[in-house]
Amino acid sequence: VVVLIGGYASAKDISRDIAPVAKEVHVSSRTESGELPRMQPGYANMWLHSL
């Protein structure tokens, strides 16, 4: 399980690189405005979270 903090380009690039080998990838960012966790389209194991 991998948790990335931040929502800018580098966090998104890293999350896509890690997704094929990680069981789960969670990206937490302030840029996601108060939404419930949601799955990243195209990735069954990647979730986007707001802080």
CA distance 51 to 42: 23
Q: What are phi and psi of 23, to 5 degrees?
A: -70, -45
Predicted confidence at residue 6, as pLDDT, reads 85
Predicted confidence at residue 8, as pLDDT, reads 80
Predicted confidence at residue 31, as pLDDT, reads 64
Predicted confidence at residue 24, as pLDDT, reads 96
CA distance 46 to 48: 7
- pLDDT single digits (tens) 18-51: 999 999 999 998 865 666 778 888 899 999 988 7
| Predicted TM-score (pTM) of this structure | 0.80
